[in-house]
C-alpha cells in the first residue's frame, strides 16, 4: 500500500503467475503469488495423464512437462511460503531429490493424517518422514480450517477439508486457500471440480474474493465417471459465484481443460459472465498465452506422428 501525489491510498495488487496448468499443456495448478512482502507458491507440482484415449503421453507433452517442472524448481527456490492443498502428485514436489526445495521454507499443508484417504496418507508420510521434509523446513504448519496473520499486510486463510469433487468421493479431501494481501483477496481452490460440493461453494462465497483460481467441472468424464446432473449442479454453483460483487476474475482450468469442448458445455457461465461484467479466463489466457490442451489433443498429436 502506498499513497499517490494527492495523498490518496493506492492498493498494490499482488502479482499472480501461473506456472503449469492444463490450458498450458500439463496437469497442474502451480500458482505463485507475489505480495509486497512475501513470495507464496501454491501447489508446486506438475504431472501428465499416464493414459488418455488408451494412448501414452506424446513426446510434446513430455517436453512440456519437463519445461514446467524446471520452471517450478526455479520459482520455488526463492519462495518464502509453500502451500500444499492435498497430496495428489500434480500438486506438490515428491520425487527423489526434490525434498531440498522445501529447505528453509514456511510450509502450510493439508493435515497428513486427518480427513484424508489411504493413498494420500501414505504420500504425506513419505514426504514428511521418509524424505525428511518435516526436518528441512523452517516452519511446518497445518492448514485445515485455520488462518494465519503473517504480517500487517498479509493474512492466509484455509478452508476446512472439502471433497475432491463430489461428496463421498474416494479421491479424498482438499484445502482451499484465501490470501488477503495488501487489501486484495485471492482464492485458490484446487480440485473442487466446479465447485461440485455445496460446502466448497459456500466457503468461496463467504470469502468474497477479488480473484478466484479454481479447477472447473470435469466435463470430460460426463456420462462415463460422472453423471450429467452432477456437472449441471457444478454449473449452477458457478453461476452463484458470479453474483459475488467483489469478484472480478475467475480462472477456470485444470479438470475443465481436459475437454476440447469446454466452452460449449459451460456456455451459460460465459454468457452470465458478460452480464455480470466478470472475466472468466483460463490460466493460459491470463498469462497472455494461447490455450494448448495437449492432453485433450493426444489423439491428434499421435496421428501427426505417423
DSSP-assigned letters across all residues of 242-286: TT-TT--EEEEEGGGGG-TTHHHHTHHHHHHHHHHT-EEE-HHHH
Q: How many CA atoms lie within 13 A of 48 on its CB side?
A: 27
Q: Can you give the pLDDT at residue 89?
A: 96
Q: Spell out, as residue ranges, where the chain has pLDDT lower than 70.
A: 1-12, 306
Q: Can you give the pLDDT at residue 4?
A: 40
Q: Using the structure block, give the residue that is written with the C-alpha cell 458478460.
A: 274
Domains parsed from the chain with CATH numbers: 12-296 (3.60.15.10)
Q: Can you give the pLDDT at residue 12?
A: 55
Q: Which three cell numbers stand for residue 136?
A: 528441512
Contacts of 59 (CB under 8 A, 6+ apart): 305
Q: Can you give the pLDDT at residue 3?
A: 36
Q: Can you give the pLDDT at residue 1?
A: 36
Q: Can you give the pLDDT at residue 13?
A: 72
Q: Can you give the pLDDT at residue 210?
A: 97
Q: Can you give the pLDDT at residue 11?
A: 47
Amino acid at each position: 500500500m502506498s499513497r499517490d501525489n494527492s495523498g490518496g491510498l493506492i492498493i498494490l495488487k499482488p502479482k499472480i503467475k501461473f506456472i503449469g496448468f492444463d490450458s498450458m499443456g500439463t496437469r497442474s495448478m502451480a500458482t505463485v503469488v507475489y505480495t509486497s512482502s512475501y513470495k507464496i507458491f501454491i501447489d508446486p507440482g506438475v504431472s501428465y495423464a499416464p493414459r488418455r484415449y488408451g494412448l501414452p503421453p506424446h513426446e510434446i507433452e513430455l517436453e512440456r512437462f519437463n519445461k514446467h517442472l524446471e520452471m517450478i524448481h526455479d520459482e520455488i527456490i526463492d519462495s518464502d511460503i509453500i502451500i500444499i492443498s492435498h497430496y495428489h502428485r500434480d500438486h506438490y514436489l515428491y520425487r527423489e531429490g526434490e525434498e531440498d526445495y522445501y529447505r528453509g521454507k514456511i510450509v502450510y499443508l493439508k493435515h497428513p493424517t486427518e480427513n484424508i484417504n489411504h493413498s494420500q496418507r501414505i504420500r504425506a508420510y513419505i514426504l514428511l518422514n521418509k524424505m525428511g521434509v518435516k526436518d528441512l523446513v523452517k516452519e511446518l504448519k497445518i492448514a485445515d480450517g485455520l488462518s494465519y496473520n503473517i504480517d500487517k499486510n498479509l493474512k492466509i486463510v484455509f478452508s476446512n477439508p472439502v471433497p475432491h469433487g463430489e461428496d463421498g468421493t474416494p479421491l479424498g479431501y482438499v484445502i482451499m486457500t484465501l490470501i488477503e494481501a495488501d487489501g486484495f483477496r485471492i482464492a485458490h481452490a484446487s480440485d473442487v471440480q466446479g465447485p461440485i460440493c455445496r460446502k466448497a461453494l459456500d466457503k468461496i462465497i463467504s470469502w468474497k474474493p477479488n480473484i478466484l483460481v479454481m479447477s472447473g467441472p470435469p466435463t470430460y468424464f460426463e456420462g462415463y465417471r460422472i453423471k450429467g446432473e452432477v456437472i449441471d449442479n457444478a454449473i449452477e454453483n458457478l453461476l452463484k459465484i458470479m453474483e459475488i460483487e467483489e469478484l472480478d476474475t475467475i480462472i477456470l482450468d485444470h479438470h475443465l481443460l481436459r475437454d476440447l469442448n469446454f466452452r460449449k458445455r459451460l456456455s451459460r457461465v460465459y454468457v452470465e459472465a458478460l452480464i455480470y461484467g466478470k472475466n472468466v479466463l483460463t490460466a493460459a489466457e491470463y498469462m497472455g498465452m494461447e490455450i494448448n490442451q495437449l492432453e485433450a489433443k493426444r489423439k491428434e498429436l499421435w496421428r501427426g506422428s505417423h
